[in-house]
Amino acid sequence: MSFFTTADGTRLFYKDWGTGQPILFSHGWPLSSDAWDQQMLFFGQQGFRVIAHDRRSHGRSDQTWDGNNMDRYADDLAELIEALDLKDIIMIGHSTGGGEVAHYLGRHGTARVAKVVLVGAVPPLMLKTEANPDGTPLEAFDGIRDATASNRSQFYFDLTMPFYGFNRDGAAVNDGLRESFRQIGLQGGIKGQYDCIREFSEVDYTQDLRRIDRPTLIVHGDDDQIVPIRAAAHRAAEIVPNATLTIYEGGSHGLAQTEADRFNADVLAFIQA
C-alpha cells in the first residue's frame, strides 16, 4: 500500500507499477483507482509504468471535510507527479478525472506531459446555461446530491444501469461490475463525494482546455447517459487545438470497462503514433 502526504496534510493512496514511459490515470466519481484495473494491467504488460491515485475522499485516501474542490484535486495531482518525478507522461482522465486532468494542465502547465486522453470526460461544462444549452439542468445534479446524502448505497447501485448502458434493450447486465461499482464508491467519504458533485457539474473547464498544447485523444460514447456527448466531447474537440475525437457508436459512460479491449487498443495506437 503506497501513500503520500500532500501539502495540507492529506494522505492519498496510489498505485505505481512497472517501468517505462509513465501513464497516469485519473478516475471518475464516485470511484477510485481500482476503476482502471483493466487498463493498468494491459499497459503494464505493454511495458509502461502505470500510476493511479485515489482522489481525496475517494477509495483508500483520507476522507477530508475541506478541500474537496478541483483546484485542490489538480494540486494533489501535481504534488504526486513531482513526488514521483514523472516526465513524458501520458495523462488519461475519465469523467470527473477528465476535469482533473484538464485543470492540472491549465493550472500547472504541460512541461511534464507528452500526450493526453480524455474519455467520457466532463469538460468543458456539464451544466446547462444560456451559453451551454446542450448541458444538463441544475435540478439533475441537485437530485444526485439528494440521493448521495440520503441513500448513497442504493443510489450508486442504481446508477450503474445508465452508467454502463445496462438499461438499454438487449444489454448484457454484468452484476459483478455493478456490485464492484457500489463497493468502490462506498469506500470513499460521503462529505467529499457530496462536495465533488459540484466540481464535475458546475465548474467550467473551457480555459483549461485552451491551454492544452499536447496531442489529445478524446473518446466518448454517443450513448453516454451520464455525460452527454454534445455538451462534452463535441465541444471539447473544438476547443483543444488539434484534438482527435473518437466516437464509440452506442458506447456508454463506462466504455473503458465495458469495451476495454477496444479502448486499450485505441489508446495504445494513439500513444505509439
Residue in this structure with the C-alpha cell 482546455, named with its chain if needed: 209
**Does the annotation count 201 as an active-site position?**
no
Amino acid in position 100: E
Catalytic residue of the set 95, 195, 220, 266: 95
| Among 54, 75, 253, 266, the one annotated catalytic | 253
Neighbour count for residue 19 (Cβ, 10 Å): 9
3-state per-residue secondary structure call for the chain: CEEEECCCCCEEEEEEECCCCEEEEECCCCCCHHHHHHHHHHHHHCCCEEEEECCCCCCCCCCCCCCCCHHHHHHHHHHHHHHCCCCCEEEEEECHHHHHHHHHHHHHCCCCEEEEEEECCCCCCCECCCCCCCCECHHHHHHHHHHHHHHHHHHHHHHHHHHCCCCCCCCCCCHHHHHHHHHHHHHCCHHHHHHHHHHHHCCCCHHHHHCCCCCEEEEEECCCCCCCCCCCHHHHHHHCCCCEEEEECCCCCCHHHHCHHHHHHHHHHHHHC
253 an active-site residue? Answer: yes
CA pair distance 12, 164, nearest whole angstrom: 27
Give the integer Cα–Cα distance in Å for 18 and 181: 26
Out of 54, 75, 208, 224, the active site residue is 224
134 catalytic per annotation: no
Q: Which residues are catalytic?
A: 95, 224, 253
